[in-house]
């Protein structure tokens, strides 16, 4: 297990610049690089792996620079989106490959491969070929192959994006379980915010070559610092208000804020509670499984609210034209 750090890292392509002032991944931590397509997640991971060299800055494992080390000397295991298994080799051979390259004795290879197969739930599949496996099973083989060499850092680049939704959910749970069981420092790349929230200890949200914010999933979800982070992680209400004496109001809806003057108040639709009253107009609503999403209007601003149906003080059939609202938690954007 090691700690991974990026310091002052810069990588330029023709029309793209990646710049990471500082990023620290703790011992045994599961950190996810999350961001839209093209923001630089894969490039960051490839530099940590050693497939790409930074133009400037340092990558450190346990405080020691690894810039000059090739991938095979960094103690990493890596899993790609497209599995990258050898098609002409059995599952056993695929997993054993790295160990055979290291010329380990045969019984030891056998023992390690069995351990890895059990870890990923594929005991009994050792003689199959990749084409005889489902996508999810192939990705388990890729994971076993990455882990069998007992790496100190596990790197995963969108490992679930070629799989369908159900398998994706199951496998992400398994990846998390295995990561906890081994306590291995893990860096995971995805553009899927739900996946990132489900598996990560912390998430680094990236946007056009920069890390916008790093934090625990719920911290980022409920207390984003920027509009980009807020919107990337889910449905958002952002109100531009004028604060006076520490209070910013939109009609009867008031927020106690620290600043004065212009402020941007942020809250999630789930933080908006519905009461009887007349603060907001019900513009529209949409039923979701067990829940309702309301589009509310106050002085020309639209506010989204999301509640479980049983939390409404009225039935959907008797939806009033106006309701009262209470925002129970919010934050102020930078």
Ligand X SMILES: Nc1ncnc2c1ncn2[C@@H]1O[C@H](COP(=O)(O)OP(=O)(O)OP(=O)(O)O)[C@@H](O)[C@H]1O
Interface ranges with ligand X (CB under 6 A): 13, 16, 35, 37-43, 191
Residue whose token pair is 């004028």: 242
Nearer to ligand X, 190 or 237 (CB): 190
Report how far residue 32's alpha carbon sits from residue 22's, in angstroms, rounded to the nearest whole number.
15
Least distance to ligand X, CB of residue 48, Å: 12
Residue whose token pair is 């799989």: 163
Pairing of strands 210-215, 202-207: antiparallel
Q: Are 59 and 49 in contact (CB under 8 A)?
A: no
Least distance to ligand X, CB of residue 176, Å: 21
Nearer to ligand X, 161 or 271 (CB): 161
Least distance to ligand X, CB of residue 258, Å: 34
Nearest to 43 by CA among 66, 13, 64, 78: 13
Nearer to ligand X, 37 or 315 (CB): 37
Nearer to ligand X, 81 or 137 (CB): 81
Q: Are 33 and 206 in contact (CB under 8 A)?
A: yes
Nearer to ligand X, 196 or 265 (CB): 196
Q: Are 18 and 9 in contact (CB under 8 A)?
A: yes
> Environment class of residue 48 by beta-carbon count within 10 Å: exposed (0-12), middle (13-18) or buried (19+)?
buried
**Residues forming a β-bridge with 281:** 297, 322
Nearer to ligand X, 147 or 211 (CB): 211
Least distance to ligand X, CB of residue 187, Å: 13
Least distance to ligand X, CB of residue 142, Å: 17
Least distance to ligand X, CB of residue 110, Å: 37
Nearer to ligand X, 3 or 210 (CB): 210
Nearer to ligand X, 37 or 245 (CB): 37
Least distance to ligand X, CB of residue 75, Å: 23
CB-CB neighbours of 22 under 10 Å: 12
Nearer to ligand X, 39 or 205 (CB): 39
Report how far residue 65's alpha carbon sits from residue 7's, in angstroms, rounded to the nearest whole number.
10
Least distance to ligand X, CB of residue 68, Å: 20
Least distance to ligand X, CB of residue 188, Å: 12
């Amino acid at each position: 297990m090691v700690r991974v750090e990026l310091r002052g890292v810069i990588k330029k392509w023709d029309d793209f610049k990646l710049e990471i002032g500082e990023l620290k991944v703790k011992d045994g931590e599961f950190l996810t690089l999350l961001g839209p397509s093209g923001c630089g997640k894969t490039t960051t991971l490839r530099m940590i792996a050693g497939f790409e060299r930074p133009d400037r800055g340092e990558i450190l494992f346990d405080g020691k620079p690894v810039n000059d080390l090739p991938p095979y000397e960094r103690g990493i295991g890596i899993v790609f989106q497209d599995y990258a298994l050898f098609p002409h080799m059995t599952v056993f051979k695929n997993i054993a490959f790295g160990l055979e390259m290291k010329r380990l004795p045969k019984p030891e290879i056998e023992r390690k491969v069995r351990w890895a197969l059990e870890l990923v739930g594929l005991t009994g599949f050792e003689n199959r070929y990749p084409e005889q496996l489902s996508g999810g099973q192939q990705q388990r083989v890729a994971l076993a192959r990455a882990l069998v060499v007992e790496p100190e850092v596990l790197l995963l680049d969108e490992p679930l994006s070629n799989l369908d939704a159900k398998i994706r959910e199951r496998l992400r749970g398994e990846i998390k379980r295995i990561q906890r069981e081994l306590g291995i420092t893990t860096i995971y790349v995805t553009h899927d915010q739900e996946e990132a929230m489900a598996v990560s200890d912390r998430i680094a949200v990236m946007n056009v070559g920069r890390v916008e914010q790093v934090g625990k999933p719920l911290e980022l979800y409920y207390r984003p610092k920027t509009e980009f982070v807020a919107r990337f992680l889910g449905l958002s209400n952002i109100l531009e208000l004028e604060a006076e004496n520490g209070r910013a109001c939109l009609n009867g809806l008031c927020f106690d804020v620290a600043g004065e003057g212009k402020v941007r108040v942020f809250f999630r639709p789930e933080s908006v509670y519905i009461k009887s009253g007349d603060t907001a107009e019900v513009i529209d609503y949409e039923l979701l499984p067990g829940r309702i999403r309301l589009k509310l209007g106050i002085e020309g601003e639209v506010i989204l609210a999301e509640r479980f149906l049983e939390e409404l003080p009225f039935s959907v059939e008797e939806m009033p034209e106006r309701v009262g609202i209470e925002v129970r938690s919010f934050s102020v954007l930078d």
